[in-house]
Amino acid sequence: MEFEEEPCRMRDEDTEEQTDSMEVNKDKQHRFQKPYGTDEDGKAIISQTEKKRAGKTGVHGGSFACTECGKSYTRKPELNRHMRVHTGERPYTCTQCEKSFIDKGHLNDHMRIHTGEKPFACTQCEKSYIRKPELNRHMRVHTGERPYTCTQCEKSFIDKGHLNDHMRIHTGEKPFACTQCGKSFIRKSQHTTHMRIHTGERPYTCTQCGKSFRDRSVLKEHLHSHSGVRSFSCDQCDKTFVLASHLRTHLKIHAAVKPHVC
């Protein structure tokens, strides 16, 4: 049985950085050079995972305390790693693209982008992932688990990032603004795709005909035109279509109000 996975908010252009997605709040963007944001007072915002890391090692009873935020650790290496949150130090650098990371584990994850290695495979389908958290998230597509629920409308999501994006529908917040035309967006990925209108960039190319597209989802739909499979059926009549966009256009015929006839 084939499952439809929610589009992940971390697209290719977002996931390449892989700075610290388990440590950086998902609302922060992956291309920031510093792994953490700051609050209004200029203090570092520490992620939930960082808090848990500190908690497991004794936030209140550790021997090694952070002079910046007061968190304490039972081992000096853990404190040293934590201090990079405040200093912005990234001592582990990729030899392929010179991106740098806060610890060696994140560099190892990043190197798989270059090698193509995806060691974490789904047992239900053919998809595989660079990092275990990405596989865990994907597995919810199969299990149907949606642990993150909106308090406004009770809609639920498979990860917190999607919930955060959704909440902006209720708040009206659109934090990602185009510097060229002023149009703003709820998601970073939407902003990135929009910017290609101005730059002319079309990074997704069809291997069948060479046509290129700004958005991966548009390329995916385009590929159906080469397969010839008419997998989109109208529920009002017996017509079928190769492309979902053609079905949507067709449905307008059924939805249209017919003129009054005497």
Q: Looking at the domain assignment, is residue 119 inside a domain? A: no
Mean pLDDT of 55-77: 76
Residue-range definition of the domain harbouring residue 53: 14-114
- CA atoms within 13 Å, Cβ hemisphere of 72: 9
Q: What is the CATH number of the domain that holds 213?
A: 3.30.160.60
pLDDT number for residue 117:
94
Q: Looking at the domain assignment, is residue 136 inside a domain? A: no
Q: Looking at the domain assignment, is residue 152 inside a domain? A: no
Q: What is the largest CA-CA distance in the chain?
A: 89
Over residues 39-52, the pLDDT tens digits come to 444 444 454 445 54
Mean pLDDT of 134-163: 94
Of residues 246, 252, 220, the one with CA closest to residue 233: 246
Q: How many CB atoms lie within 10 A of CB 243?
A: 15
Q: How many CB atoms lie within 10 A of CB 183?
A: 13
Q: Looking at the domain assignment, is residue 166 inside a domain? A: no
Q: Looking at the domain assignment, is residue 37 inside a domain? A: yes
Mean pLDDT for the chain overall:
79
pLDDT number for residue 126:
87
| Residues 20, 109 within the same domain | yes
pLDDT number for residue 257:
54
Mean pLDDT of 143-150: 95
| Residues 186, 94 within the same domain | no
Confidence of residue 74 (pLDDT cuts 50, 70, 90): very high
Mean pLDDT of 184-189: 92
Last residue of a domain, one of 114, 133, 150: 114
User: Crossing angle for the helix pair 76-87 and 48-56, nearest 10 degrees?
Assistant: 160
Last residue of a domain, one of 114, 131, 159: 114
| Residues 110, 18 within the same domain | yes
Mean pLDDT of 190-208: 94
Q: How many domains does the chain have?
A: 2
Q: Looking at the domain assignment, is residue 181 inside a domain? A: yes
Q: Which two tokens stand for residue 107?
A: 């560099």
Q: Looking at the domain assignment, is residue 142 inside a domain? A: no
Confidence of residue 228 (pLDDT cuts 50, 70, 90): confident
In the chain, pLDDT over 70 holds for what percent of residues?
74
DSSP secondary structure, 31-66, as one string:
T-SSSS-B-TTSPBPPPHHHHHHHHHT-TTT-SEE-
Q: Looking at the domain assignment, is residue 67 inside a domain? A: yes
Confidence of residue 22 (pLDDT cuts 50, 70, 90): very low
Of residues 177, 179, 219, 220, the one with CA closest to residue 199: 179
